[in-house]
Chain A
Amino acid sequence: MKVAVVGAGPAGVRAVERLVAAGLSPVWMDEAPDGGGRIYQRPPAPLARDARTLYGFEAKRATAIHDTLDALKPRTDWRPETLVWHIRAGAKQMQALHRGAQQRIDFDAAILCTGAMDRVIPVPGWTLPGVTTLGAAQIALKAQGCGIGRRVVFLGTGPLLVLVAYQYAKAGAEVAAVLDTTPFATKARAAPGLLLGGATFAKGLYYTAWLKRHGIPMVEGITPLAIEGDAQGVTGVRWRDARGREQHTACDAAGMGWGLKPEAQLADLAGVPFRHDAVQANWVPVRDDAGRTPVPGIYLAGDGAGIGGAEVAELAGARAALALLQDAGHRIDPIDTVTLDRRLAGLARFRAALERAFPFPAHLARSLPDDAILCRCEGLRAGELRAAARAEAATGPAPEMNRAKAFTRVGMGRCQGRVCGAAAAEILAAELGRPVPRIGRLRGQPPVKPIPIVAGAAP
Chain B
Amino acid sequence: MKLVRLRDASRPRIALTLEGAPIEALQGDTLLTALLAADAGHLRNSEFGDGPRAGFCLMAACQDCWVVVEGLGRVRACATLAEDGMEVRRG
A138-176 Cβ-contact flags toward B at 8 Å (1 or 0): 011101111111100000000000000000000111000
Interface check A289, CB cutoff 8 A: no
Neighbouring B residues of A263 by C-beta, 8 Å: 61
Interface check A17, CB cutoff 8 A: no
B34-57 Cβ-contact flags toward A at 8 Å (1 or 0): 001100011100111111111111
Main secondary structure of the interface of B (DSSP, over half): loop
CB distance from B49 to the nearest CB of A (A): 7
Which of A49, A127, A150, A419 sits near B53, CB closer than 8 Å?
A: A127
Q: How many angstroms from the CA of A127 to the CA of B47 in the assembled complex?
A: 13
Interface check A233, CB cutoff 8 A: yes
Interface check A46, CB cutoff 8 A: yes
Interface check B70, CB cutoff 8 A: no
Interface check A10, CB cutoff 8 A: no
CB distance from B12 to the nearest CB of A (A): 7
Q: How many angstroms from the CA of A108 to the CA of B41 in the assembled complex?
A: 48
Main secondary structure of the interface of A (DSSP, over half): loop
CB distance from B10 to the nearest CB of A (A): 9
Interface size on A, residues (CB 8 A): 57
Quick one: given A140-B33, A233-B41, are A135 and B58 in contact (CB under 8 Å)? yes
In the complex, what residue of chain A is closest to B56 when comparing beta carbons? Answer: A132
Q: How many angstroms from the CA of A149 to the CA of B4 in the assembled complex?
A: 6
Q: How many angstroms from the CA of A48 to the CA of B10 in the assembled complex?
A: 10
* A146 x B61 contact (CB < 8 A): no
* B59 x A145 contact (CB < 8 A): no
Which of A43, A49, A232, A379 sits near B46, CB closer than 8 Å?
A: A379
In the complex, what residue of chain B is closest to A448 when comparing beta carbons? Answer: B61
Neighbouring A residues of B81 by C-beta, 8 Å: 33, 44
* A419 x B57 contact (CB < 8 A): yes
Q: How many angstroms from the CA of A415 to the CA of B56 in the assembled complex?
A: 11
Interface check A459, CB cutoff 8 A: no
* A145 x B5 contact (CB < 8 A): yes
Interface check A129, CB cutoff 8 A: yes
CB distance from A97 to the nearest CB of B (A): 12
Interface check A87, CB cutoff 8 A: no
* A376 x B64 contact (CB < 8 A): yes
* B62 x A44 contact (CB < 8 A): no
Binding site for A on B (CB under 8 A): 1-9, 11-12, 27-30, 33, 36-37, 41-43, 46-64, 66, 73-74, 79, 81
